Structure 1
């Protein structure tokens, strides 16, 4: 085997996707303990959300055409025929020329098709003065508008973010089948490496910084870490400890000893763990060229450079990809935070900041942000979005093709 035939970054990502598969072990978790876990099955909606037509504002349920022509200078008049209380079924219908008060989230009475906000009307002695005309469906969420019974809400491989948990809760789902939590093992090597707690260094000694940076990233990715300590530059000791850790974890991480030199045992040790072995030995990247990636009997092994900056950059860049593949997470090639071009014009009112949910799509080498239009009460608009675009106060909107900052919510 010839090593140090370096791979490009793109080739390395492609090889990780090709060589590393997901774990097969699953577990059932309560929804309040499933954050950041990966779904192991599709979730199909068993009911409509919402289960009834409801109001999105405090106001009066009306027949929209009864408000036509209403204005501040020429108000319309409707008879107030009752009130709907939160949590109760709306039984009394709204007739022509009538209005029934409905709180935010309350059930829409039969016969009504819209809700007039309380800011746009005034009740005086049982008579409702209407100061604005509204359209059918305004300020209303229809039954099943958010989630329809029978549709696949979330597919296998979805990472459960807070918005996915909210959508599942809306369906009454209390438990989910997910891939189990991963366990990684870490081992430092080198005669010069000493524990990071060491107060006074001897000449030539280096504290084990890499353990802390690797541990920090692994914790961010919600993975359990086993710390194997530090081994000397001795093949037998290194191989024995690496084997012990390899057998306890889903992925083995080795730091140090991956550069070409007389004391480089890392490649031999990794090859001894199982087949097919090393598939990347060197990446065309700076810092971090002397990086090793391998699969030993189905388990990935990562050989990090010894230099702390190189090790952290490499582990963040490629280690995260390895673990996402292991977790069973769908890999979508989208960045962490970006500027994107907006797909369509979006109006905004001066004097307030608007936050628009968007879906990202790559076209001709550029990222485009497509607004997800939906009422604020729809949880699925968050599930379908990749991020949020801010229209700052004082700006009257954004124009099609304009570059906008996207705050990612993935």
Structure 2
């Protein structure tokens, strides 16, 4: 019987693992931006030009000099001479002088001399020369979307400030500004920004290759019909999905029997081809559980941590072999997946050079008392139920760590701090969304 488990707090164990990993060495590749969603940038991205690179309006209306509209109101409008219409997608050939304006549409380039735009809703077209420029209601029309004739004057019923309703050159980003740091996960917003700057490809971190090995004489492939005493492989698929979601590439090596030589050979082969190796089952104190001994044969320094002071997942093994992380997770599906969030995801993020980012969480009111052992960190799957707008209840899902649907029906994980002996019903708790 091997000596079992010097338990470390999860945070300390994770820090120990990450501290033994070298800087990312997985390299990078050029990827088309349209295929980069969810990937991580491998280098800083700088703006090659200002954005926008010309001043433009954000409304339909009239390009004006702001000082020509000062004091304008419904009872005392300003009158400006309409000198033309700004062409969409082209540079205006005219310049706005004192007392002049030009029809402009959203996104149009601001003419020289103009520094603001008046929304069309606050204007009215006046035929030049009608009633000495002060027509009655029968001689005027509220400005619409149709171009006004250039022999008209425009009544302005609202003043605008310098820069109002326009975007200046470089107001979004300046030339040579750092717009996307290395280690940023590409979201739809980043894709839009890259396209706006003319980037059609980007330097992306390669996906870390994560090898997955399942062990156990009782474990069979999911497409097989189990005999009594057999179970289908779950862990290589749940963990593989977690790896893919986190930015890695999951490589399943299959199921191996509880024989030291067989597992050692499979693990060595997988580790040589991958950046990370995960072995599920074979991590608890049993004469048949040999994962820790196998890890010790794969390289230095070998096993760093054998045993985490947490529930579920106490027998988790964390190791580094010749610069590569090797993680032994319990065979119970809930334990394996919860500890995958705690340890596998941070390793992948380090290999990707990912910038630190907050976890998605929500505050919810606990519905029942939850006991815990002092000194141990507990993670409970919970179902979130909305009681009213913006307010949620967290209902723990009770079940053993080999019942995968206790986690499949959960919306998040609730953490009980090791300093606590439990949580009381009605307490507000933070739930990590999964």
Q: Provide the aligned C-alpha RMSD in A.
A: 2.1
Q: Which residue of 1 aligns with 2:214?
A: 188
Cα drift, residue 107 of structure 1: 0.6
Whether contact under 8 Å (2:38, 2:185) holds in the other structure is yes
Q: How far, CA to CA, are the matches of 1:12 and 1:240 in structure 2?
A: 27
Aligned residue among 253, 276, 279 for 1:254: 279
Question: Per-residue displacement from partner, 1:246-298 (whole Å, max 9, x unpaired)?
Answer: 12211111110111111111001111111111222111111111111111111
Cα drift, residue 303 of structure 1: 0.9
After the TM superposition, which parts of structure 1 deviate over 4 Å for at least 4 consecutive aligned residues? none
1:264 pairs with 2:275:
no
SS of 2:344's partner is helix
Whether contact under 8 Å (1:91, 1:110) holds in the other structure is no
Q: Which residue of 2 aligns with 1:22?
A: 24
Question: Per-residue displacement from partner, 1:74-94 (whole Å, max 9, x unpaired)?
Answer: 332222111111110123111
Q: Which residue of 2 aligns with 1:128?
A: 154
Pairing of 1:282-321 with structure 2 (within 5 A): 282-321=307-346
Cα drift, residue 115 of structure 1: 0.7
Pairing of 1:332-371 with structure 2 (within 5 A): 332=357, 334-338=358-362
Cα drift, residue 232 of structure 1: 1.1
Q: How far, CA to CA, are the matches of 2:29 and 2:236 in structure 1?
A: 29
Q: How far, CA to CA, are the matches of 1:89 and 1:74 in structure 2?
A: 33
Aligned residue among 161, 177, 181 for 1:151: 177
Q: Which residue of 1 aligns with 2:8?
A: 7
1:242 pairs with 2:267:
yes
TM (norm. structure 1) is 0.78
SS of 1:52's partner is coil
Pairing of 1:8-157 with structure 2 (within 5 A): 8-20=9-21, 21-125=23-127, 126-157=152-183
Q: Which residue of 1 aligns with 2:198?
A: 172
Q: Which residue of 1 aligns with 2:252?
A: 227
Q: How far, CA to CA, are the matches of 2:164 and 2:184 in structure 1?
A: 33
Q: Which residue of 1 aligns with 2:223?
A: 197
Whether contact under 8 Å (2:240, 2:251) holds in the other structure is no
Cα drift, residue 3 of structure 1: 5.7
Cα drift, residue 12 of structure 1: 2.5
- Count of residue pairs the alignment pairs up: 339
Larger Rg: 2
Whether contact under 8 Å (2:96, 2:113) holds in the other structure is yes
SS of 2:311's partner is coil
Q: How far, CA to CA, are the matches of 2:159 and 2:66 in structure 1?
A: 7
Whether contact under 8 Å (1:325, 1:331) holds in the other structure is no
Q: How far, CA to CA, are the matches of 2:234 and 2:31 in structure 1?
A: 35
Q: How far, CA to CA, are the matches of 1:3 and 1:51 in structure 2?
A: 65
Cα drift, residue 54 of structure 1: 0.8
Q: How far, CA to CA, are the matches of 1:289 and 1:117 in structure 2?
A: 64
